[in-house]
Amino acid sequence: MSSRNKHIDKSEALALFSQGDESVLENLKDLHNIDVYREMVQRNFHLHLSKSFGLSKAAIQGTKWESLVNDFIQHGQPKSKLFWQMPGEFLEFASAKIEHWQADLMKFEWSQVQLYFAPDYNRKGTKPFSYHPSHIAELHDEWSILNFEYPVYKIKWEDLEQHKGNYFLLQFRNQNTFEIENIELNIFLKELMLNLSTQQFNLAQTLTETLTKFNTSISPQINEQYQNFIHLLTQKNIIVGLL
Amino acid sequence: MGISVGLGLRREITEALLHLENQKPAFLEVAPENWMEIGGYWGNLFHQISEKFELTAHGLSLSIGAKDELNIPFLKRLKSFLDEYSISLYSEHLAFSTMNNAHLYESLPVAFTDESVKHISTRVKQVQEILERKVILENVVYYTLIDQELSELDFYNAVASEADCEILLDFNNVFVNGKNFNYDPYEFISKIDTSKVSYLHVGGHQEQNDGLLLDAHNNPIKQEVLDLIRKTKHNFNADKLLFERDANLDDLNELLAEIKRIEKSLE
Ligand SMILES: [Fe+2]
């Protein structure tokens, strides 16, 4: 018996064994049906993680996936009180142990789950959106910007290596269908989106702030991108009105 | 006063429940951890459910039997949820589900000892203070005994008395534990402090090859368990009995038929 195990009682040993720690078997000699507990615990984690990461599981494959999950059950120490949030902790745990593109894929899948269940946004303002440089746009918060090294959301897995780069994806929950949608952003639009979401700047200031960040001034092309993006955000109901 | 029969709310049957006109379950039981603080599609449906049905709560992650510190911020979030949806009945498992604050997301058995009674009672009192509600602890199914000093019966009665909490009596669990550990479920029910029993459960179980009964909640309730309800129902003051089904949830009509069977045993 290892010295660690001398100080644990039998219920703790049963918990450790259920998590996959076989070194505590010595403490459990007179207990019955301990495998029933281990199977229940293991099955819950495996089932739920397979559901949350359907694509990632297929990408990581077989035994590697199995052992990642088993490792997590034993060593991952999940703290989520809400079971559905546990996969977020698995993502943190697993990311460094898999290929970068697989970690990107997991991030992509997990963000969808989070947004799907995210609390509803409560509007602060009452006015509908109309464009004027002095207006402050109100955005809901059911979105996030993901940064990827590999564009897992649009390129086949086997071709990803040739597309290594720096990608930004705006992922958001459609206000009518509740489904998760994606818009790819370039670095300028990513910055613009972040400035808009602070809701401290009016529309003119938002553009100026963003241009300053890139040390540049307005050009017809940039202006067109800007106008189109504001239009898209209103069309997709991400801009919900004016503050 | 009669006993009304409710159904556990699961995602698979949520939409069908919203479309029910007649023959609705008398109430729905929800796991707070599956519904609290969510929005979007399911948050929206849950809100509609709460307007159509009376709700009770059956928690998953309290881990009342653990040695870990209670998670006070979580208890406060839980209280907001219960308050928001006017849920007065809050039950949990008399078990533990965390080790060193890590969740196992399953109910593991506590030792039936005086020390456990003290430890659990202290924690229950704290929880009741924060939630401003009685905690109703369920007699869970266990598959092994750990350092037993007290009988299961004495243990439950002692916790209920010392913690000044209530008991959720699960008929199926009494039956399953009775079979697995060789005691008479009728005797157990005749000796449990029924003045403390404020909520009831029943579900289906399954027999393993080696004869061990599992608390599976995936199939029809066994007739012997319905008989147990029929013959002991007058012992209880509780007015709510919940039908638990965690799997094979495709057909709401089958679940409603099960509720009819339970109601028959309550006539
Ligand atoms: Fe139960």
What CATH code is carried by the domain that includes residue B103? 3.20.20.150
Distance CA B204, CA B196 (A): 24
Phi, then psi, of B174 in degrees rounded to 5 = -60, -45
**Contact flag A117-B65 (C-beta cutoff 8 Å):** no
B73 touches chain A (CB under 8 A): no
- Alpha helices (runs of H) in B143-239, residue ranges in sequence order: 152-163, 171-181, 185-191, 223-232
- Nearby residues of A223 by Cβ (< 8 Å), 6 or more positions away: none
Question: What residue numbers bound the domain in which B62 lies?
Answer: 4-266
**Contact flag A82-B36 (C-beta cutoff 8 Å):** yes
- Running DSSP on this structure, what letter comes out for residue B235? G
**Contact flag A15-B108 (C-beta cutoff 8 Å):** yes
Tell me the chain A residues in contact with residue B214 when contact means C-beta distances shorter than 8 Å: 36
Task: Report the pLDDT value the prediction gives residue B31, as an integer from 0 to 100.
Answer: 98
Task: Report the pLDDT value the prediction gives residue B1, as an integer from 0 to 100.
Answer: 61
Residue in A40, A78, A178 nearest the CB of B41: A178
The residue of chain B with its CA nearest to that of A84 is B34
Distance CA A216, CA A208 (A): 9
B139 Cα–ligand 1 center, Å: 8
Q: Is domain A32-99 classified as CATH 1.10.150.690?
A: yes
Indicate the helix (H) or strand (E) that contains B94.
Answer: none
Within 13 Å of residue A171, how many CA atoms lie on the same side as its CB? 22
Domain count, chain B: 1
CB B133 within 8 A of CB A43: no
Task: Report the pLDDT value the prediction gives residue B149, as an integer from 0 to 100.
Answer: 96
Task: Report the pLDDT value the prediction gives residue A121, as an integer from 0 to 100.
Answer: 97
Tell me the chain A residues in contact with residue B143 when contact means C-beta distances shorter than 8 Å: 32-33, 36-37
Task: Report the pLDDT value the prediction gives residue A2, as an integer from 0 to 100.
Answer: 45
Q: What would the DSSP string read from start to end of B25-68?
A: -S-EEE-HHHHTT--HHHHHHHHHHHHHS-EEEE-SS--TTSSS
Q: What is the CA radius of gyration of chain A?
A: 24
Distance CA A22, CA A160 (A): 40
CB A180 within 8 A of CB A115: yes
Distance CA B41, CA B34 (A): 13
Task: Report the pLDDT value the prediction gives residue A8, as an integer from 0 to 100.
Answer: 83
Long-range contacts of B75-84 (CB under 8 A, 24+ apart): B75/B127, B75/B130, B75/B131, B76/B130, B77/B36, B77/B37, B78/B32, B78/B36, B78/B131, B79/B130, B79/B131, B79/B132, B81/B32, B81/B35, B81/B36, B81/B37, B82/B32, B82/B57, B82/B131, B82/B133
Distance CA B152, CA B169 (A): 13
Interface size between A and B, measured as CB pairs under 8 A: 108
Tell me the chain A residues in contact with residue B96 when contact means C-beta distances shorter than 8 Å: 11, 15
**Contact flag B111-A32 (C-beta cutoff 8 Å):** no
The length of chain A is 243
The residue of chain A with its CA nearest to that of B33 is A82
Q: What is the CA radius of gyration of chain B?
A: 18
Q: Which residues surround ligand 1, an ion (CB under 5 A)?
A: B 170, 201
Distance CA A171, CA A32 (A): 49
Where chain A has pLDDT below 70, the residues are 1-6
**Contact flag A12-B67 (C-beta cutoff 8 Å):** yes
B69 touches chain A (CB under 8 A): no
Indicate which of A82, A116, A171, A178 best probes the interface with B, i.e. most B CBs within 10 Å of its own CB. A82
Tell me the chain A residues in contact with residue B61 when contact means C-beta distances shorter than 8 Å: 81-83
Distance CA B191, CA A36 (A): 29
CA angle B134, B136, B137 (to 5 degrees): 140
CB B120 within 8 A of CB B155: no
CB A119 within 8 A of CB B37: yes
Residue in A19, A80, A119 nearest the CB of B38: A119
CB A77 within 8 A of CB A45: no
CA angle A32, A33, A36 (to 5 degrees): 160
**Contact flag A15-B104 (C-beta cutoff 8 Å):** yes
Residues within 8 A of A (CB atoms), B 88-127 only: 96, 99-106, 108-111
In chain A, where are the structural domains located? 32-99, 137-242
B66 Cα–ligand 1 center, Å: 19
Task: Report the pLDDT value the prediction gives residue B23, as an integer from 0 to 100.
Answer: 86
CB A153 within 8 A of CB A108: yes
> Helix/strand/coil (H, E, C) string of chain A?
CCHHHHCCCHHHHHHHHHCCCHHHHHHHCCCCCHHHHHHHHHHHHHHHHHHHCHHHHHHHCHHHHHHHHHHHHHHCCCCCCCHHHHHHHHHHHHHCCCCHHHHHHHHHHHHHHHHHHCCCCCCCCCECCCCCCCCCEEECCCEEEEEECCCCCCCCHHHHHHHCCCEEEEEEECCCCCCEEEEEECHHHHHHHHHHHHCCCCHHHHHHHHHHHCCCCCCHHHHHHHHHHHHHHHHCCCEEEEC
**Residue whose pair of structure tokens reads 């010295």 in the numeric block:** A3
- Running DSSP on this structure, what letter comes out for residue B118? H
* Closest by CA position to A16, among listed B176, B104, B55, B160: B104
Q: Which residues of B243-262 are buried (b: 16+ CB within 10 A; e: fewer)?
A: bbbeeebeebeebbebbeeb
Task: Report the pLDDT value the prediction gives residue A85, as an integer from 0 to 100.
Answer: 98
What are the pLDDT tens digits along chain B (267 aa)? 699 999 999 999 999 999 998 889 999 999 999 999 999 999 999 999 999 999 999 999 999 999 999 999 999 999 999 999 999 999 999 999 999 999 999 999 999 999 999 999 999 999 999 999 999 999 999 999 999 999 999 999 999 999 999 999 999 999 999 999 999 999 999 999 999 999 999 999 999 999 999 998 989 999 999 999 999 999 999 999 999 999 999 999 999 999 999 999 999
**Contact flag A45-B34 (C-beta cutoff 8 Å):** no
Task: Report the pLDDT value the prediction gives residue A5, as an integer from 0 to 100.
Answer: 53
Tell me the chain A residues in contact with residue B147 when contact means C-beta distances shorter than 8 Å: 9-10
Tell me the chain B residues in contact with residue A116 when contact means C-beta distances shorter than 8 Å: 40-41
